[in-house]
Amino acid sequence: MIPLAFSTNAFKKHSVQQAIDAIAMAGYAGVELMADIPHVYPPHFDTTARKQLQGTISRGNVQVSNLNAFTLFAEGDTYHPTWIEDDAALRLKRVDHTIRCIELAADFESKTVSLQPGGPLIGTGISRGVASERFADGLRAVLPVARQNGVILAIEPEPGLLIQTSREYLEFKQRFFADEPLVRMNCDIGHLFCVGEDPVQIIRTMPEQIAHIHLEDIAENRVHQHLAPGKGVIDFPQIFAALKEVRYPGWVTVELYPYEDSAARVAQAAYRHLHLLAR
């Protein structure tokens, strides 16, 4: 059976404790923690808060599937500060945030931290080559902490950012981190579909690169808008069949952040839609 989790980033109008309780009640085996305000932003999350949350997780009988370090609302917005800013001080904020997220992931026994793939490139005036070098430099700065804690840095391709496709991820990986097992991919099924790729084929052809999976539905027009499973055209039976075929050993986390006003209900509906496929 492939374990299913749900991300707390759909519960931004609730506390992280309320989110975990709702996710556990829906039937999920795991919970992805949003490493940002209002949930587990590391500078605001001291030792006492961490112990309290570990108790909540234990009582819910769930595990942490992933530490989501993509956004940085506490310092900027969904994307900023990025790994590729012209301002070195802003790049350092992203590096420092990621280091703290790795340490937080280790505290909650998460094997992965999912990362923004560099940041938005269009309109910045930054060349792809320079942006790639900056992103690689940032990852090199956090890798010692990742190695110390045994946490995988999972780059998440996303439409409109430096790395949009699995092909671009692989080019970046082979150029800068070909022999680094702790740099891998957070495979977001919907994102790959949005950029014209076949997620089923990606699972079958590069399973060794996939450290964690995000799951959501996408409309037929391939617009990047996360939809609840069953509301779009993603072929979930084929997705899970491919994961079983390659013996994928990790988590599948449902990520439905647009549903802030109905997070618990949507989490329950997504579980009902997916849990039989995961068996």
Kindly state the average pLDDT of the residues 108-128: 96
Share of residues in the chain with pLDDT > 90 (%):
99
pLDDT band at 140 (very low <50, low <70, confident <90, very high): very high
Predicted model pTM: 0.96
What per-residue confidence (pLDDT) applies to 64?
98
247: left (phi > 0), else alpha (psi -120 to 50), else beta?
Answer: left
Burial class, 1, CB count within 10 angstroms (exposed 0-12 / middle 13-18 / buried 19+): exposed
pLDDT band at 228 (very low <50, low <70, confident <90, very high): very high
Residue 248, SS3 per DSSP: coil
198: left (phi > 0), else alpha (psi -120 to 50), else beta?
Answer: beta
pLDDT digits 0-9 by tens, 144-182: 999 999 999 999 999 999 999 999 999 999 999 999 999
DSSP-derived secondary structure letter, 62: -
CA distance 170 to 224: 21
Q: What is the mean pLDDT of the chain?
A: 97
Going from the C-alpha of 254 to that of each of 32, 114, 160, 273, the distances in angstroms are 9, 14, 21, 11
pLDDT band at 104 (very low <50, low <70, confident <90, very high): very high
What per-residue confidence (pLDDT) applies to 57?
97
pLDDT band at 216 (very low <50, low <70, confident <90, very high): very high
What per-residue confidence (pLDDT) applies to 135?
98
pLDDT band at 264 (very low <50, low <70, confident <90, very high): very high
pLDDT digits 0-9 by tens, 27-70: 999 999 999 999 999 999 999 999 999 999 999 999 999 999 99
What per-residue confidence (pLDDT) applies to 133?
98
Burial class, 7, CB count within 10 angstroms (exposed 0-12 / middle 13-18 / buried 19+): buried
